[in-house]
Amino acid sequence: MDLQIERKYIVNRWIMNARWFYVLGILCIGMITKQGGRTNVDFSYLSMISIALSVLALNTFFYAYLRRSLKENSITRLNILGFMQIAAELIAFTFVMHQAGGVESIALVFYFLPIVSAATLFGFRGGLISALISGLLVNLLVIFEYYGVIPHIYRYGVLSIEYQYLSISLIKTFTISIFYGIVGIFTGYGAKLLLARENALQNKTLSLTKEKNIVSSMIASFEDPIIFLDDGNNIEIFNPAAEQILGMKIADRGLKIGGNLNMDNFRKAAKTDFKVIQPKYESYELPFEEVSLYYQGKEMNYRVITAEVKGKDGRRYGNMKIFNNVTREKIIDKLKSEFISIAAHQLRTPLTVIKWITKSLMDGESGKINDEQKELLNKGYISNERMIELIDNLLKVSRMEDGKFDLKLTRVNLKKIIDEVVEDMGRIAKNKDVVLVLNEPELWPDIVIDPSQITLVMENLLDNAVKYTPPGRKVEISVGRESEYLKITVRDEGIGIPEKDRGRLFSKFYRSPNAIRVETEGNGLGLYIAKKIIDGHKGKIYVDSSEGKGSAFTVYLPLTTQVLHI
């Protein structure tokens, strides 16, 4: 309903409701006054009741008119009704005042009612005009009575002082007229203020509703699922894509997600079966998960981000699960991996052949070679070895991504592995004048791991530490226990890792620019593979670094490992 219409409707109804009471009130006053017997009331009880009943009949008519105005949604009708009501009151009160003794009566106060009603209905102007009319009516009444144009009814049956002197009468009516004016202006102004605030509030509500509609339409238009959960992890809103793709039902609203907000805990809400390809382990530098599911007969891959929903004022509303369709990227990625895998396989054999040919040439198996030739062959041999290493890494990555990389877990004591790696790397460190220090624990606990893979991780971490540490500095390996984990830290005093690069360190082929400057060789696969291996052991790997001062890579391996598949 229009605000104006609503307001006029309410005020009109309010005046009508009030009328029941004041008509009864005036009737009572009339009866009591007549009973008092000291006045000149001409009316019989019956005529008093008849007058009251006619006013109430008029009120009923007003009610019918009000209903009709509302049905027709007509502001003009409501204005006419308001006007009729105020006019009726002004006439009725003038009649009552006359009957109650004119200037002698206190019926003058009744006029405040139509003044306030007019101000509320028609604002400032309405209040002022009805105040002026009221003033005019009371003043004319006493003048006409004084000059006998209309008869004066003696209120108390005696000649009162007010009636004797016109000036006294007029002082009284003038004074009250001024009050009428004040009340009219005051109420009109108040009504105007209220109206302005009401309008402002309505505008605000309208713009908020519009904003809300736009936001919900935007969310509904997203092709990928979006789920909003309130602060207590209850599902509150989700878009049509969530219904179609995840099979969520309206009845799921309010469903509580137990535990954390990882996708695995959404199986109760999502009717579509899905596979979590990449769970959100704490150690992942990017806080997302990856799921795959079948929709309309096709395999789809989604990257799922869990984001906190916070207001500008910092108030927390809950969390959102935002799905991002990465099916296409996955297909391209797969094709790329396949290409790399095929290319690597094809390259592996000729490179191995070159390796053995170079080796046999260097060993003089095909005739004696001089030192210069040997030196050149050696350079070729080293480059070839590097290429083989790269290809081995590429093959390993592609096997890991295809899920064909199994860990061969056995119970071992890590001491042997660490000792061997430290010994091997010790030689390289010594050549570079880097000091390698091992801080051993008092007791080496047994641990279930894949020894060759963990050896690979340790070799990579130590190799990096030595590679990125200038001569004369120290690399330290510390092994210890921390709650349920075995903790291995490789700390160096090298070039460090700029903060902006730390998040991407464990991704494929990433090398930070400061490292490329000091060491041109490297393929950026070592840490990627290391992390995959550690994840496969349900362990964690963290980096802590200060640029220019050094880095510390910490590996946590659970003391009870059961995972067999990367």
The residues of the shown chain that bind ligand ADP, judged by CB under 6 A, are 460, 464-465, 468, 492, 494-497, 505, 510-512, 515, 522-528, 551
User: 13 vs 504, which CB is nearer to ligand ADP?
Assistant: 504
Beta strands 235-238; 435-439: pairing state: unpaired
- 84 half-sphere exposure, CB direction, 13 A CA radius: 17
Centroid of chain to Cα 99: 69
User: 48 vs 534, which CB is nearer to ligand ADP?
Assistant: 534
Asked if 153 and 98 touch (Cβ cutoff 8 Å), the reply is yes
Centroid of chain to Cα 518: 45
Asked if 222 and 239 touch (Cβ cutoff 8 Å), the reply is yes
Closest CA to 2 of 145, 170, 199: 199
User: 78 vs 497, which CB is nearer to ligand ADP?
Assistant: 497
- Residue 333: count other Cβ atoms within 10 Å of its Cβ: 13
User: 197 vs 386, which CB is nearer to ligand ADP?
Assistant: 386
Least distance in Å: CB of 546 to ligand ADP? 11
Least distance in Å: CB of 383 to ligand ADP? 15
Closest CA to 459 of 427, 435, 483: 427
In whole angstroms, what is the distance from residue 154 CA to residue 55 CA? 25
Asked if 530 and 454 touch (Cβ cutoff 8 Å), the reply is no
User: 186 vs 510, which CB is nearer to ligand ADP?
Assistant: 510
User: 94 vs 464, which CB is nearer to ligand ADP?
Assistant: 464
First-to-last CA distance in the chain? 64
Which residues does 163 contact at the CB level (< 8 Å), separation at least 6? 102, 103, 104, 145, 146, 152, 154, 169
DSSP state of 266: G
Least distance in Å: CB of 548 to ligand ADP? 10
User: 98 vs 491, which CB is nearer to ligand ADP?
Assistant: 491
Least distance in Å: CB of 479 to ligand ADP? 18
> Strand pairing partners for 238?
227
Least distance in Å: CB of 360 to ligand ADP? 30
The Cα-based distances of 99 to 39, 40, 139, 399 in angstroms read 11, 9, 15, 108
User: 177 vs 554, which CB is nearer to ligand ADP?
Assistant: 554
DSSP state of 286: S
Q: What are the two backbone dihedrals, phi and then psi, of residue 492, each rounded to the nearest 5 degrees?
A: -125, 170
User: 272 vs 514, which CB is nearer to ligand ADP?
Assistant: 514
